[in-house]
């Protein structure tokens, strides 16, 4: 069995969500809850962004969580140095490789991306830390550009490469194909994937990446992130529960609801009603034909057992929700 | 080009959402807005459910919308007769074919499903109406059972068969495969698909169905439905916009936001922040590296043009959203 790792980026990608402004205390609580659920990696912003960020990262590292803290850092010497000056487990580097980002964001050619990145990767490795390099906007990048960059960073010693769908344009089929090309070409490094939800397929794309050979999937709590966000932790857990349950052995699924509710409260909102598992209605049955069957056997209309998440179902009788039924 | 039809089931599946209780006036307004957006089919509950439902259906039919009204009806003589006593364009029949639904819901063998359905299909055809037959829980059904039922209903004259993923268990790959089998076996009828979102892949599965050969896709406004719902209209439109734009020629995309906002207001909630296109933040850019690039050229981080939906983008400057930028 290929071992799958989840990386939660609520404290980095999630902070890029227009509705999110976490206090320091909230960041600590979120990290503790992620740890309690059992998420292996927690991504944090670059310490160079502000003294408060640096301070927060030091404190998150000092919590001694089982979750490992990874800083998300531009391929800039000072940024990397600032990360290495903190006790983070590792560094997630990123650099836009698509024509769009090369034209409208940083304006640099592929050769420059390589010459900027390679020495920084060596530096991080020499410091004994974990390093990943991500080709931002991988799914609008020319495949020759993409593989030239990956060839160079793998040669330089990265432990993982990342392929984010930064604009939410990819389809499950495209994701699986491109990830598989990379998995075959770079058998000695891990592969990370990250999916924006602009066209509503972040969860499907993320699972397709695993099926193509990725070993690390990015999520955030409730799927918050730039624009309308990325794959949600609850969504990915619902997929793994059904299709790859052995990947959830080390998770405590009964803490998921608390985590989702806590982050929703930080955002001053409710958990979206479309959220798998943690929606207020995820285990609510309303139509007569549904409630009758569910009272006979919940498997009629439930593929996830609410009890496994410490939750219970509710059944509407006579057009009103009249009771919370114990898990049967 | 295969012509794709959308069926909106907000007034049927959506009313099965635990958070939804539409007034009669709201139903009329929703139907008018669906018509304004350009959705070809509107599904309504079975008139047999109550005199109010029958009354509402008569009124919806008398609006003379371009959208056609289809009643969702059990394979029961009285239910079909009640539908034919209204001026609906057609009837969507359904019958559970999975072992789970046959055991815990209606308790009937495959032969009985066929003998119940065939005469009703003939009856509806003789009345000159459109008729579709759907195998509820198709993706947990034995393929022999499923095809035996479809063989019989196609022979009896249905114009379309439906394959709902009633419990949200399918993957895009499975959906595409099973739909393709049916598209090849039944070249003379249409194929409808309907995806629940229990594992977060309703939109991806629905698009996979189109790619496998379906010609009618079920949606609801905001994705509301039993449990955590089905594919959202906005999600499917975002997919078509990117991958199959020719399918949107007859839609008025500038009315989509009004529709989503109206239904959200009926539910006393906001549009979920993860909704493609109509999320309050769908075109909001916050991280510095994003805002800088988007100011240079929105295509850097936007694959959907907000102007096409009558919307504009917002850009956060200095950690606060400081302005709504005109579409450039
Ligand atoms: O570093 C990464 O892989 C992801 C960066 C990011 O948020 C994106 O490209 O959308
Ligand atoms: O009639 C259909 O195809 C769909 C019925 C339904 O809502 C479902 O099976 O989830
Ligand atoms: Cu991102
Ligand atoms: Cu349904």
> What tens digit of pLDDT does each residue of A279-311 get?
999 999 988 889 999 999 999 999 999 999 999
Q: Residue A188: its pLDDT value, please?
A: 98
Q: Please report residues of A whose CB lies closer than 8 A to that of B242.
A: 169, 199
Ligand 2 centroid to B193 CA: how many Å?
9
d(CA B23, CA B31): 12
Contacts of B286 (CB under 8 A, 6+ apart): A16, A17, A18, A226, B316, B321
Between A251-260, A268-277, A319-328, B287-296, the lowest mean confidence (pLDDT) is in A319-328
Q: Which of A256, A199, A250, A252 is nearest to A222 (CA)?
A: A256
**Closest by Cβ to A300, choosing from B101, B168, B282:** B101
Which pLDDT score, from 0 to 100, does residue A320 have? 46
Counting ligand 1 atoms within 8 A of each CB, the residue from A12, A92, A194 with the most, and so the one to mutate, is A194
Tokens of A222: 């409730």
Out of B171, B198, B229, closest to residue A303 by CB? B198
CB-nearest partner of B300 from A100, A234, A239: A100
pTM across the whole model = 0.96
DSSP structural state of residue A200: S
pLDDT single digits (tens) A28-40: 999 999 999 999 9
The number of residues making up chain B comes to 328
Cα of B66 to nearest chain A Cα, Å:
27
Q: Structure tokens of A45?
A: 């912003």
Which helix H or strand E contains A241, and what residues bound it? helix A233-243
Q: Residues of B with CB below 8 A from A297's CB?
A: 100, 103-104
* Alpha-carbon span A288 to B325, nearest angstrom: 48
> What's the rounded Cα separation, in Å, for the pair A8 and A5?
10
Average pLDDT score over chain A: 95
CB A253 within 8 A of CB A278: no
Residue nearest to atom 4 of ligand 2 (CA): B164
Token duo for residue A19: 């509705």
The distance of A186 to chain B (nearest Cα, Å) reads 25
Atom of ligand 2 nearest to the CA of B225: 7
pLDDT at residue B327, as a whole number = 35
Q: What is the DSSP string of B157-171?
A: T-SEEEEEETTS---
Among B13, B96, B131, B140, name the best residue to mutate to test ligand 2's pocket (greatest count of ligand atoms within 8 A of Cβ).
Answer: B13
Q: What angle is formed at CA A27 by the lines to CA A214 and CA A226, rounded to 5 degrees?
A: 55
- B contacts of A321 (beta carbons < 8 Å): 18
- Tell me which H or E stretch contains A42: strand A41-44
Measured between alpha carbons, how far is residue A312 from residues A172, A249, A254 in Å?
A: 32, 21, 12
Q: If you count them, how many residues does chain A have?
A: 328
Q: What pLDDT sits at residue A317?
A: 73
CA–CA dist B61, B323 (Å, integer): 44
List the beta bridge partners of residue B71.
Answer: B44, B91
B287 closest CB neighbour out of A226, A238, A279: A226
Name the residue in chain B with its Cα closest to that of A290: B105
Provide the b/e sequence for B253-277 (b: ≥16 CB within 10 Å).
bebbbebbbbbbebbebebbbbbbb
User: Nearest Cα to A136, choosing from A126, A124, A145?
Assistant: A145
Nearest CA in chain A to B273: A228
pLDDT, tens digit, 9 for 90 and up, residues B226-284: 999 999 999 999 999 999 999 999 999 999 999 999 999 999 999 999 999 999 999 99
Closest Cα in chain B to A100? B300
Angle between the N-to-C axes of helices B172-185 and A172-185, in degrees from 0 to 180, rounded to the nearest 10: 120
**Closest Cα in chain A, distance from residue B129 (Å):** 25
Residue A24 known to be catalytic: no
| Inter-chain touch A16–B204, beta carbons under 8 Å | no
Most A CBs within 10 Å, among B139, B201, B277, B292, to test the A interface: B201
Res B93: pLDDT? 98
Minimal-distance CA residue of chain A relative to B235? A200
pLDDT value, residue A69: 98
Average pLDDT over residues A57-71: 98
Note whether B300 contacts A17, CB cutoff 8 Å: no
Asked if A304 reaches chain B (Cβ–Cβ under 8 Å), the answer is yes
Contact check, Cβ <8 Å, B276/A228 = yes
Q: Could you say which residues of chain B have pLDDT below 70?
A: 318-328
Contacts of residue A224, defined as CB under 8 A and 6 or more positions apart, other chains included, come to A10, A13, A14, A17, A19, A20, A230, A263, A267, B273
pLDDT-derived band at A318, boundaries 50, 70, 90: low
Q: Kindly give, in sequence order, each residue whose CB lies less than 8 Å from that of residue A152, ignoring residues fewer than 6 positions away.
A: A114, A117, A118
Per-residue confidence (pLDDT) for residue B144, from 0 to 100: 98
Complex ipTM: 0.95
For residue A225, which ligand has an atom nearest its CA? 3
Extract the tokens encoding B267.
């539910």
B172: which 2 tokens? 């895009």
Residue with token string 């119940």: B116
Rg (CA), chain A: 21
Atom of ligand 1 nearest to the CA of A230: 10
CB-CB neighbors (< 8 A) of A316 in chain B: 18
CB A34 within 8 A of CB A10: yes
Name the β-bridge partners of A5.
Answer: A216
């Amino acid at each position: 069995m290929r071992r799958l790792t989840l990386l939660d980026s609520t404290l980095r990608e999630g902070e890029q969500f227009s509705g999110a402004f976490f206090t320091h205390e909230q960041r600590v609580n979120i990290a503790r809850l992620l740890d309690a659920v059992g998420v292996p990696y927690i991504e944090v912003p670059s310490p160079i962004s502000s003294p408060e960020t640096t301070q927060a990262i030091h404190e998150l590292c000092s919590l001694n969580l089982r979750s490992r803290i990874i800083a998300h850092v531009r391929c800039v010497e000072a940024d990397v140095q600032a990360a290495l000056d903190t006790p983070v487990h590792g560094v997630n580097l990123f650099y836009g490789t698509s024509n769009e980002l090369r034209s409208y964001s940083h304006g640099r050619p592929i050769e420059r991306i390589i010459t900027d990145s390679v020495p920084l990767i060596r530096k991080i490795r020499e410091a004994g830390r974990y390093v990943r390099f991500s080709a931002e906007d991988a799914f609008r990048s020319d495949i020759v550009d993409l593989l030239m960059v990956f060839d160079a960073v793998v040669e330089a010693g990265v432990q993982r490469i990342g392929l984010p769908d930064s604009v939410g344009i990819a389809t499950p089929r495209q994701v699986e194909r491109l990830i598989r090309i990379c998995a075959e070409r770079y058998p000695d490094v891990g592969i990370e994937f990250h999916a924006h939800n602009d066209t509503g397929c972040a969860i499907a794309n993320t699972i397709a990446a695993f099926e193509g050979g990725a070993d690390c999937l990015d999520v955030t709590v409730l799927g918050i992130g730039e624009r309308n966000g990325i794959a949600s932790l609850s969504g990915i857990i619902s997929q793994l529960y059904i299709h790859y349950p052995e990947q959830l052995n080390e998770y405590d699924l009964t803490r998921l609801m608390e985590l989702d509710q806590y982050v929703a409260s930080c955002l001053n909102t409710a958990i979206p009603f479309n959220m798998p598992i943690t929606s207020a209605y995820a285990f609510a049955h309303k139509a007569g034909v549904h409630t009758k069957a569910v009272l006979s056997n919940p498997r009629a209309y439930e593929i996830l057992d609410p009890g496994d998440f410490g939750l219970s179902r509710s059944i509407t009788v006579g057009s009103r929700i009249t009771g919370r039924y114990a898990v049967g």
